[in-house]
């Protein structure tokens, strides 16, 4: 199956990719290894040519699963992974943007993946103790050595993107973006468009809230949404009321809510590639079908009207927000 494609700097990938965090942790009980393998292969069979992982996902388990189940099909996809957030001892999570740490994380990733090259390698977060120029310089040297093909940034603001791009061309910037989370519109999307940088939208269905996956805050153990204010208590109750209006619009258009959310993200710019994650093949099939949906300008505006200034609660805890470099919307809470 062939999907529409989009550019990410020098790379060309399917218009919808697959985020590979869900296959090993984050949203409660992960799928079994067999289920994860079937999901990854189904994505490739559907025409997805962009898989996104990171050193920190499952403390390296996501990269291992990709090696065991689809690296024999590597010619069929572009692989992205990330450094800076890592657990060098396999237990303790750390944020370290020093060049030596970046090099060590990359070498461990290559070993876990059974590869000698990663197509796109991101700085997962900004280490404020290390100048961005030094961190990007480490990736530039890795590219010269043939270990990576292109450089990306994750959750970084327009000023940081420009500083990084001055050191080495940046292929892609990744941040959360959905009808509910519009922060990249403050400056990041325009900066990427101006500099010829692709934008990768993670959590494009708002961590399941726009995919009928959240109905209350009785989450499974180890679900990261238990730390996110907008997914809890009175905030969640209010937000689900807003989402109900969005779901009604999706029904009127004969789309699922997830498909409407993904089609909206795709409509916001030809340089944008959403990477929904899921644990279930049925959800994957639903997501990929959104790649060919074209929304009218009126529908795009209607979606935006539903969420304009209506969502309550921060998207991260104060501790997690401290690692994020993206600009806040006017009046948005830090915590």
HSE toward the beta carbon, residue 163, CA cutoff 13 A: 12
Q: State the chain's mean pLDDT as an integer.
A: 95
Retrieve residue 191's tokens: 């900066």
Please give the pLDDT value at position 329. Answer: 57
Are 19 and 202 a contacting pair, CB within 8 Å? yes
Alpha helices for 12-59 (secondary structure H): 33-45
Enter the pTM of the model. Answer: 0.96
Domain 5-321: which CATH number of 3.20.20.100, 3.40.630.30, 3.40.50.300, 3.40.710.10: 3.20.20.100
Helix (H, G, I), strand (E, B) or coil at 45: helix
Interaxial angle between packed helices 257-267 and 297-307, expressed in degrees from 0 to 180 and rounded to the nearest 10: 110
The one catalytic residue in 57, 121, 122, 177 is: 57
| Residue 122 designated active-site | no
Please give the pLDDT value at position 323. Answer: 86
Instruction: Out of 22-26, 80-84, 108-112, 327-331, pick the least confident.
Output: 327-331
Confidence of residue 321 (pLDDT cuts 50, 70, 90): confident
Are 164 and 157 a contacting pair, CB within 8 Å? no
Confidence of residue 335 (pLDDT cuts 50, 70, 90): very low
pLDDT tens string 60-76? 999 999 999 999 999 99
pLDDT exceeds 70 at position 333: no
Secondary structure of 237-304 in HEC code, one letter for each residue: HHHHHHHHHHHHHHHHCCCCHHHHHHHHHHHCCCCEEEECCCCCHHHHHHHHHHHHCCCCHHHHHHHH
Retrieve residue 272's tokens: 């944008």
Helix (H, G, I), strand (E, B) or coil at 162: helix
Alpha helices for 12-98 (secondary structure H): 33-45, 61-69
Retrieve residue 52's tokens: 């996104």
pLDDT tens string 141-170? 999 999 999 999 999 999 999 999 999 999
Characterize the bridge pairing of strands 11-14 and 5-8.
antiparallel
Residue 245 CB partners (closer than 8 Å, separation 6+): 306
Q: Where are the domains of the chain?
A: 5-321
């Amino acid at each position: 199956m062939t999907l529409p494609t989009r550019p990410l700097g020098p790379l060309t990938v399917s218009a919808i990719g697959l985020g590979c965090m869900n296959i090993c942790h984050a949203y409660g009980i992960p799928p079994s290894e067999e289920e994860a393998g079937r999901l990854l292969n189904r994505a490739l069979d559907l025409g997805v040519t962009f898989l996104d992982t990171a050193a920190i996902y499952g403390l390296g388990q996501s990269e291992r699963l990709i090696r065991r189940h689809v690296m024999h099909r590597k010619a069929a996809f572009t692989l992205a992974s990330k450094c800076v957030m890592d657990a060098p001892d396999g237990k303790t999570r750390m944020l370290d943007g020093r060049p030596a740490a970046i090099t060590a994380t990359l070498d461990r990733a290559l070993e876990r993946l059974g590869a000698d090259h990663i197509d796109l390698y991101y700085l997962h977060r900004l280490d404020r103790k290390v100048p961005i120029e030094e961190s990007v310089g480490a990736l530039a040297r890795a590219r010269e050595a043939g270990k990576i093909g292109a450089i990306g940034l994750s959750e970084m603001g327009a000023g940081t993107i420009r500083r990084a791009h001055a050191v080495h061309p940046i292929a892609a910037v990744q941040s959360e973006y959905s009808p509910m989370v519009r922060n990249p519109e403050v400056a990041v999307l325009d900066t990427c468009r101006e500099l010829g940088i692709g934008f990768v939208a993670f959590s494009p269905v708002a961590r399941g809230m726009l995919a009928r996956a959240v109905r209350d805050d009785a989450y499974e153990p180890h679900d990261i949404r238990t730390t996110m204010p907008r997914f809890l208590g009175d905030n969640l109750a209010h937000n689900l009321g807003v989402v109900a209006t969005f779901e009604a619009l999706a029904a009127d258009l004969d789309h699922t809510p997830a498909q409407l959310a993904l089609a909206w993200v795709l409509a916001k710019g030809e340089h944008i590639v959403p990477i929904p994650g899921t644990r279930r093949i049925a959800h994957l099939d639903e997501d990929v079908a959104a790649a060919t949906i074209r929304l009218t300008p009126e529908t795009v505006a209607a979606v935006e009207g539903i969420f304009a200034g209506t969502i309550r609660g921060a998207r991260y805890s104060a501790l997690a927000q401290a690692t994020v470099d993206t600009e806040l919307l006017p009046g948005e809470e830090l915590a």
